[in-house]
Structure 1
């Protein structure tokens, strides 16, 4: 493998690790690090910008883009005494200069005048801002703002809004339209409203026009709300997603974690916790991960990540290992209650709560019927003791088959000695049951 390919592989692995660990590469943030920071400083991997915004961008999180900046602009004509190119109104400079020297001025002697900007491609435009000259207000009266998919439509396209003499120096107008062209149109003679008697007529003084859109994946008044639509942007006003949500997200605006995820970016999985799954759904709170319906058996805590304390098990950790019959009183499994080292003598079943039935010993592996008891067949579950002793030739305590008397003994319970029989030869050997030499 070449050194170049090796470097590319290492970089890719590094980037993937940063994304999956919740730390985005520099300049990116949000779910899957899919958002770009447009601030000069202070971009958090989760919440985005908190510092100043780059040129073209604005808003609390620098998610509002001015798509009119430095785009092609033109107008119906120029004032003979104030010739400023149409592009002055989209140069990003809101400083008006002395007596509006940095503003665009249209003619005053025409029946109507207009100014237009070509955004380069269609955008959904929720809002735009028009910066008027502050020291001379008459030309701002009755300016009609239009949007269109075609150029030079003047006053025949979609009307976004109309300004008045009392409109703000920076007037925000809602368009709610998809358009490529924004046109400001003046067809009113404003001589009557001019207190300075400059005879503005159909003149417009335009210092800056900003066409403001939310960056993809954001919506709302300040573009501070996030949507996570699958394959397309959401409605910039309502946030509605029409094509479904990206994985981990749900809701009309795809800004809520689905039932199996939680956290600020919905990347933490509820399935990694031990929430109660009675309804076959591992639900947890989509903000903090707390289990909505409590924990599965064997787990505790608000997030169900802690095992039951030693000596307890089951739902709510309410059951005690000490109530079982574990070998040597050892601990039991925190979920099922199964004894960690098996059952004590005389008990069986997975949780060591069932006593031996006509059996005895460890794991009830000795059969009561295999004993050679004398009289009563009552069977002790622990050692299988015969209450009235053993048949001749078998020893206590359980008188089992194959447990014949030790050498030199015979009779019931092997209590008699062969040496007392005075046998010829080796007097220590005799029949284990009858004592016959």
Structure 2
């Protein structure tokens, strides 16, 4: 098959198959068993069954999709398709059906008679009947729309859902966004959340340039940003009618464009979009052979469990599509996918996985976003998703202290923009007062061990038009000379600056002038000589990020991860924030500075001073680390008693000259135990 179903806004071919489920045509049942999509063609395995004779055949259906309407395809693409079909026909028996006008009739003849006459008169299909049997509906028709900007205000965004398939701009059915923004978007609100199988975009055919770079997203929150589920992208070579498979539960379809397109390579171009119609199809899959999964399973082989999904609804009310397992109301926090079985990617969390964390050593919890190991530098709060008090920007990489705000009043530091409340000091501009009005562009600074008058050596940094009045650079190099260089690419190669200072902070100091001391901080290693931050965390008993605050009263130790209430102190005790030491030592059975370590296997009691091997237990016994209790009591033959069988009976004043009663008592006890055991066994039988 060499043509698309729809070309230039016109229906060219009637599909005699359904990509999902089965389709009945007369007394034939047509099922697509497998689909392989490539850039220029689609291969389908189509099974056709005669429902009367029960005869069945499987066909390889080759569909070339890159032949443009009223044009010719690329030679290499068509040759690749030709050789693919030729190799298949040579390696497998059976007739080759290669004329579209008669292909479906011929397929039916092969099923019925085992051969085909290759004529075109045997079978006629009604398009309306087939379109209805596909059970697909354009749910975007006449729905609410909006877009980022307008080229002309009278060119409404609703043109793209008016049902008109005209693809020439002069015919009045295409939208056109503005041309001056760095990005543009168009969006349709379907009015409800639904399972979107496919969508199609009918692009303008009299100006093909602006389709390049368009990305299509489905979402439930209506955000015009390039987030949500990516249905597909469009390139300069995409067809005039672009089909995409979404397979996503969504309410909004957004077309987003941030690619600058231009006719000439030297032109900047613009990000405008102009297309003529968007159709969104909600496909309902149906089983026709009577064999379905039970209520707790879904999938092609019923191999997936419905209860294992993470649907945002109660388990007893959750629907479970037999084929897709789709969660009707979406997923709970931390999970995505139509059946909600995929956890958020590392570094993201929450509902729809749209929130981002910046943990220090490991990913955050994909459901809650909690960072157990603390945050990366400049990030704060338990999810490490907002800037700390000293930084701002989308990546928290800008310093509040480096702004040039008017200091006549106090200035806050917006965590996203860094905006100065009282404008900038003279000579500075932009919202965060970090762009210099004067051009210093083109100066580079090099360090070297030899005298140098050129742009060689170690590059310490470059200066541009946004550089600050006091420009700091980090060299981290062993050198003798510092060279400032400006080349001939600038109209003015002259340089004028007032002072050059070169610093090496001594140990335990930091800051622009090394004026700040790290001694008040409790860093694992010396603090950062530029920022003063503890890049490798704090010593035990101190809280990140600046390691100047003690652990709370209920915690202690490294990262304040130990709980004071879990120690085993003797009596009431304070809790040292560093060691967790107990004031009066440890309770029985415990040792260590914070009394959290049990006695070894061979010791027990206070300070673990008692030796398990010095007890007088009856038979073999374990050794409780607290009291040293014997499992089977004491060895009375040797005359010992007590909780740990270390106390001599003679020490208690009991007579020891007549061991008879003791021995007899032991024997009597043994007899009672044996008799009771026998009685129990007999009773149970």
Identify the TM-score tier after normalising by the shorter chain: 0.3 to 0.5
| Higher RCO (CA-CA < 8 Å; seq separation 6+) | 1
TM-score, length of structure 1 as denominator length: 0.37
Larger Rg: 1
TM-score, length of structure 2 as denominator length: 0.25
